[in-house]
Structure 1
Amino acid sequence: LEGALKLKEITYAHCEGMLSTEFKHGPLSAVSKGFPIIFVSDGSATPLIISGLNEVKVRGARTIVIAEEDARLRANCDALIVLPKSDPQISALLGVLPLQLLSYQMSVMRGFDPDFPRNLSKTLTVD
C-alpha cells in the first residue's frame, strides 16, 4: 500500500494499492491491454496472487511481481523482481524499495521533482 501511495504522490499517476483478497471486487473492470499491474508478495498468498495474475493476463495486462524467487510466480507473470530471502516481516519492507525506485524514475521521466511533490508538506501538523 505504501508503494502505491508513493507512486501517486510523486508521479501524479493514478495508482491504487490493495490486498490481494480485495482485488476481484471492482479493479478488474479497469484492466485493458497493456495495463500495468504490480503484485507484491511475502510468499503467504502465492496461490491467490497466481489467480490474480491469470485474471488480469487474460484481459491483456502487463504483470510484474515483486517477491522472493518462486518458479510458480515466475511462470505466471511477465516480469519478476526478486527479493532476497528473509523473514516475512522484513520481506514486506523490502517489497516497497523497488516501488520507491520506480516512483523516483517515473517522476524524473515525467519532468517532476520527486523531492518536492505538489500540494504535499514534509511536516505533519495536528490541529
Structure 2
Amino acid sequence: MIPIYIHNLITIINIEIKNMANYKRDNSKQNMFVPIMIDEQLIPSTIEYTIAHIVDNYLDLSSFDLVFSNNNAGTTVYPPSIMLKIIFYANALGLLSSRARACQTNITFMCLSGDVQPHYTSIAAFITK
C-alpha cells in the first residue's frame, strides 16, 4: 500500500503535467545541412538571373586572357565571369563595399559566384584592371 502523502504527490504531479503547455521544439541553435543546387537558385526574370545570363552568354571575355596571362606559372585567378557577376549584382543593389562578405553570407551571391569566395582585395584588384 502506498502512503497517502506519496499518493497525493503523484496526483499533484499528474495534474501539473496535464496542465503544462506542449510546445514544438525550438531548433534555432541546431546546425542544418541544406543541400542547394546552385544553378537552380537563380529564378528567370530576376536581376541576378539576367546578369548571369548576359555575362555567360553575351559578353566576350577573351580580352581578360591578355590581362591575366599567368599561364601555368603563378597563382590561379578567379574567372572574369564570376568577378563580373559579383560586381554587376553588387552595383545593382547599391552595394559598393562588402562584396566579399556577401559572397560568404548571401545565397544569391553564392549562386552567382559558384560558391567561390574571393577576398576583397581580389575584387578590388579586378576592378582596377
Range into which the TM-score falls when normalised by the shorter chain: under 0.3
- With structure 1 as the length reference, what TM-score do the two structures score? 0.26
Higher strand share: 1
Higher helix share: 2
- With structure 2 as the length reference, what TM-score do the two structures score? 0.26
State the structure with more CA Rg.
2
Which structure has more RCO (C-alpha within 8 Å, separation ≥ 6)?
Answer: 1
